[in-house]
Amino acid sequence: MSGPANISPGPNDGSERRPRHIFVTGGVVSSLGKGIAAASLGRLLESRGLRVVCQKLDPYINVDPGTMNPFQHGEVFVTDDGGETDLDLGHYERFTGENLSRASNVTSGSVYLSVIQKERRGDYLGDTVQVIPHVTNAIKERIHRVTEGDVDVVISEVGGTVGDIESLPFLEAIRQFGNDIGRENVLYLHVTLVPYLSTSEELKTKPTQHSVAELRSHGIHPDVIVLRSDRDIDDAVRRKISLFCDVRPEAVIPAPDATDIYEVPLTLHEGGLDQVVCDQLGLVTGPPNLTVWSAMVERSLAATREATVAIVGKYVELPDAYLSVVEALRHGAIANDVDLDIRWIRSDDLSGLLVDAELDGLDGIVVPGGFGARGVEGKILAIRHAREKGIPFLGLCLGLQCAVIEYARAVLGWADANSTEFDPSTPYPVIDLMSSQEDVEDKGGTMRLGLYAARLEEGSLVRELHDQELIYERHRHRWEVSNRHRGDLERAGLRMSGISPDGRLVEYIELMDHPYFVATQAHPEFRSRPDLPHPLFAGLVAAARAHREATRPAAVATE
């Protein structure tokens, strides 16, 4: 039961562990790269030996992003424990290397749902249930929840822009948080935009001043301001913002556009961010060890070996819909010193007759995950092209399902083979609903979600790439390869190279007489890191590069 009193985590007298809390807000415009700034700070603090957990507080009313359209919201990122979360969690994981849980994504919808459920159960004992303190307490409780375990620092990013109606309860909760646990344990970091006006040829600080004034009207005085801009910011601008926004000059940190997002931690470190944060929060550590990270960034920037890989998908107008796939490809490219050209191909646009022309010049093809029938036939055509022309191919989730359909149609001659997701009355349902999913009505969180194991077959390409027999990957699907048709597909030459340990579910397929034809029911892209590229993506880029060298030796020679 929780009454209207404020949550208090206990005394701040050193008698217990005290995790520090950093709250990241954004001002002026959305899409500032707040998530990348939060993730980069996480990397810097981890590089100082601290254990960091990042968290996203999202003001929208959806309980989780699982049901949101990728065209609007971008990718749904899946955590080990099967949380369907905001794509910023992907940045947090890639930058910090820490595997997060569903607790790291809190939406207004999930907070209100829990408060209303409590009210219905009578837990508030007849109180009038209000935003302050009931909703704000629920938010603070969710912030405390991620400190379980040995966490030194929690970085909580508030989604949206200061001034949005929806974010008010979150701002109020983080303001209270400072009083609850002691202001010295809390740091408020505000990320703003400093636009350049070409007519007057100067960077303008006024939007930042207004945004900080807005934040202060909610009782939050920022300790650090990170300035996003499309060019370098000089000391005069820093000093001006320091003066007008009442923030120490060394706590005004420039963050100009980077050529590579993985450079951002290094830029922020040069600006002094991690030192300012540690000083303010009383965190005593040595300097950050950024040797491996810097080497990775240098390698990425120095790569000159070319290769072109296409992503054939339904949501290509919004590349954020495939954010983790793109990042995993980039990680694979870094590992191979490849300057990767990623080409976007709308699967709806692919037509039978022209497909070879439309896919000409590619060194690799990725068919990522997706839902619904639209664009599926185009994906199947792209896979046929890859299979027949020996172009390296990686299929992810729906990509595996399309590869199985393509094989059944072309090699077994089952012209109407399909998934029951797209054609419920197909005579050859090679992809069918998982038996556990047949009667499910509720569209939220009803899929096979999160980490599941697969046993990789001895001698297979996936086993060689992973160099491990039992592997775990994240999943998000309702359909699977039908066990009724598995035997026929295998006899026709489709290798089922990874199966769930109970033998029931096909997790990996591949082709033997092809340079690289691999697909998985999982989403390996979610576990790839810039400094630890996923073997299937590194393998694809290596194969794509080999394809380029074999097919265009003249171009390769002049690189």
CB of 36 to ligand GLN, least distance (A): 25
Q: Which lies closer to ligand GLN via its Cβ, residue 70 or residue 288?
A: 70
Residues 322-381 that bind ligand GLN (CB under 6 A): 369-371
3-state secondary structure of 444: coil
**Residues near ligand GLN (CB under 6 A), total:** 10
Q: Which lies closer to ligand GLN via its Cβ, residue 135 or residue 405?
A: 405
Rounded to whole angstroms, the Cα distance separating 5 from 15 reads 23
Nearest of 403, 479, 406, 412 to residue 440 by alpha carbon:
479
How would you label 227-255 residue by residue, b for 16+ Cβ within 10 Å and e otherwise? bbbeeebeeebbebbbeebebeeebbbbb
Q: Are strands 479-481 and 470-477 parallel, antiparallel or unpaired?
A: unpaired
Residue found under tokens 């900080």: 212
- 54 catalytically annotated: no
Q: Which of 397, 421, 477, 534 is catalytic?
A: 397
| Position 409 contacts ligand GLN (CB under 6 A) | no
CB of 370 to ligand GLN, least distance (A): 5
Q: Which lies closer to ligand GLN via its Cβ, residue 185 or residue 420?
A: 420
Q: Which lies closer to ligand GLN via its Cβ, residue 41 or residue 505?
A: 505
Q: Which lies closer to ligand GLN via its Cβ, residue 277 or residue 505?
A: 505
Nearest of 499, 492, 494 to residue 458 by alpha carbon:
499
Q: What are the tokens at 183? A: 């202001």
Rounded to whole angstroms, the Cα distance separating 170 from 272 reads 28
- 245 catalytically annotated: no
Q: Which of 58, 93, 180, 421 binds ligand GLN (CB under 6 A)?
A: 421
- 119 catalytically annotated: no
CB of 441 to ligand GLN, least distance (A): 15
Q: Which of 91, 134, 523, 547 is catalytic?
A: 523
Q: Which of 172, 214, 507, 525 is catalytic?
A: 525
User: Nearest residue to ligand GLN, using CB?
Assistant: 369
Phi, psi of 380 (to 5 degrees): -65, -40
Rounded to whole angstroms, the Cα distance separating 26 from 191 reads 5
CB of 345 to ligand GLN, least distance (A): 17
Residues 451-490 that bind ligand GLN (CB under 6 A): 476-479
Residues 9-48 that bind ligand GLN (CB under 6 A): none
Please name the residue ranges forming H helices in 263-389.
264-270, 273-281, 291-302, 323-335, 355-358, 376-389
Nearest of 13, 30, 14, 19 to residue 55 by alpha carbon:
19
CB of 367 to ligand GLN, least distance (A): 9
Q: Which of 334, 398, 405, 430 binds ligand GLN (CB under 6 A)?
A: 398
Task: Give the chain's end-to-end CA distance (angstroms, integer).
Answer: 67
Residues noted as catalytic? 397, 523, 525
Residues that bind ligand GLN (CB under 6 A): 369-371, 397-398, 421, 476-479
